C-alpha cells in the first residue's frame, strides 16, 4: 500500500507544481498582450487551477498516510519540519487564491485578478522548496 501512496503523492506533485508552471508560462506569454486581452485569457484559464487543487488533495491524502512513522522523530528532522511548514503556507496561499478566483470571476477580472496573479507568483517557488526539503529529508 505504501508504494501506491508514494505513486499518488508523486502524481499530486506533478499536478500541483505543473499547474504553477502552466500559469507561469501563460503569464509570461500574456505580457505581450494588452491588459484587457490578458485578463480575458486569464479568466478563461482559471478552471486550470482545479488541476492544482486535485494535486493538493492527492498530496494531503497520501501524505497523511505516509507520515505516521515520522511523527515521533519529527524533532530530529528539520527538513521535514520545514517541508510541512511550507505546505501550511502553500495551503494558506491556495485558500486566499480560491477566494480571489471566485471574486475575479464575479467581477470579470479587475483588482482580484491582479491580486490572484501576485500571490500565484509565490506558489511555484514554495512548491519547489517543498520538493527540495522532501529530497533532503528522505534521501
> pLDDT per position in the chain (139 positions), as tens?
889 999 999 999 999 999 999 999 998 888 889 988 988 999 999 889 999 999 999 999 999 999 999 999 989 999 999 999 999 999 999 999 999 999 998 988 888 988 998 998 899 999 999 999 999 998 8
Measured distance CA(103)–CA(98) in Å, rounded: 9
Are the C-beta atoms of 3 and 62 separated by less than 8 Å?
no
C-alpha cell at 81: 519540519
Q: Which helix (H) or strand (E) holds 67?
A: none
pTM: 0.90
Q: How far apart are the first and last CA of the chain?
A: 21
Measured distance CA(92)–CA(45) in Å, rounded: 21
- Evaluated on CA atoms 113, 119, 124, 125, the torsion sign reads positive
Amino acid at each position: 500500500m505504501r508504494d501506491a501512496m508514494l505513486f499518488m503523492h508523486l502524481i499530486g506533485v506533478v499536478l500541483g507544481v505543473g499547474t504553477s508552471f502552466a500559469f507561469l508560462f501563460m503569464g509570461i506569454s500574456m505580457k505581450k498582450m494588452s491588459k484587457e486581452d490578458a485578463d480575458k485569457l486569464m479568466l478563461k484559464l482559471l478552471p486550470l487551477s482545479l488541476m492544482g487543487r486535485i494535486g493538493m488533495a492527492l498530496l494531503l491524502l497520501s501524505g497523511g498516510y505516509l507520515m505516521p512513522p515520522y511523527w515521533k522523530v519529527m524533532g530530529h528532522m528539520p527538513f521535514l519540519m520545514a517541508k510541512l511548514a511550507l505546505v501550511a503556507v502553500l495551503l494558506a496561499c491556495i485558500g486566499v487564491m480560491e477566494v480571489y478566483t471566485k471574486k475575479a470571476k464575479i467581477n470579470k477580472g479587475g483588482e482580484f485578478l491582479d491580486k490572484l496573479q501576485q500571490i500565484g507568483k509565490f506558489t511555484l517557488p514554495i512548491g519547489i522548496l517543498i520538493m527540495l526539503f522532501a529530497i533532503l529529508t528522505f534521501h
